[in-house]
A and B are shown apart, each in its own frame.
Chain A
Amino acid sequence: MDQLVFLILSIISIGAALAVIFSKNPVYSVLFLILTFFSIAGHYVLLNAQFLFIVHIIVYAGAIMVLFLFVIMLLNLNKTNETSKSMLPKIAGAISGGLLLIVLLGAVKGLNQAEASQAVNADMGSVKNLGKILFSEYLLPFEVSSALFLSAMIGAVMLGKKNLKDH
């Protein structure tokens, strides 16, 4: 049962990921990327990581994708204006990506299989457990990430300004 769900979700994610990079219209790319993110969220459910499932949906499908769609529609980019002068760079890129995949799969295949941890903790990925860890062991990185967000926000506003001299 788990294997079947895993297989279906994997096929959806790989197919949608391929559609992201091969569709001509950027809006379709964003929509396929949303599909990929939802299938990855399904993988999180399968791995019993409920907290990350919720965070993934909120952050990616809720925030990042809206940002992408907003920019595409703001800049009016939903037309195919990709001029392809030569096919050579594209073919070289595709071959390089394929070779990387082969190398990764070869490395995975040669791995020594470690023993699986016997005691599977069912509520390890729950909000309660991860919240406890986040606010005790990882309190400093958690607080520092707020500074990161503040600087990212200020940076985005500064970059988005039309002209800094005549404000």
Chain B
Amino acid sequence: MQVLSNTVNNYLVLASILFAIGVMGVLVRRNIIIIFMSIELMLNAINLLLVAFSVFHNDASGQVFVFFIMAVAAAEVTVGLAILVMIYRNTGSVDINSLNKLKW
């Protein structure tokens, strides 16, 4: 705790790496479930950064914000997985290449 400024820089680097891994997962993988997991990874990187800055600035609002982000993420996963089940029922696969009706 005594070298806080150094710590926040470390957390910035860690969150950037995790976020980039999440973006890479969304871009590289074609499986919808893996893409969902990558989105969760990105949300978690941002949460970690928010907590680090909240501790750094001695402001508890950041942690309340992380709590709300977790609530929204839970709701998002629920609806997203319901949509995924419907996609699987209608197309028989979870590959996003099968969803090209809006492509021209």
Give the interface of A toward B (CB within 8 A).
Answer: 2, 6, 10, 13-14, 17-18, 20-21, 26, 29-30, 33, 36-37, 40, 43-44, 47-49, 51-52, 55-56, 59-60, 63-64, 67-68, 71-72, 74-75, 77, 81-83, 90, 92-94, 96-98, 100-101, 104-105, 108, 111, 113-117, 119-121, 124-125, 129-130, 133-134, 137-138, 141, 145, 148-149, 151-153, 155-157, 159-160
Contacts and interface: CB of A to CB of B under 8 A. Distances in A.
Given A26-B33, A26-B34, A138-B64, A74 B23 contact: no
> Looking at chain B's contact residues, is the secondary structure mostly helix, strand, loop, or mixed?
helix
Interface in B1-47: 1, 4-5, 7-14, 16-31, 33-34, 36-38, 40-41, 44, 47
A55 B20 CA distance: 25
Interface of B: 1, 4-5, 7-14, 16-31, 33-34, 36-38, 40-41, 44, 47-48, 51-52, 54-58, 60-61, 63-64, 66-68, 70-79, 81-86, 88, 93-95
Contacts of A60: 40, 44, 70
Given A20-B25, A26-B31, A130 B63 contact: yes
A64 B73 contact: yes
A68 B34 CA distance: 10
B100 to A, nearest CB: 13
A29 B34 contact: yes
> Looking at chain A's contact residues, is the secondary structure mostly helix, strand, loop, or mixed?
helix
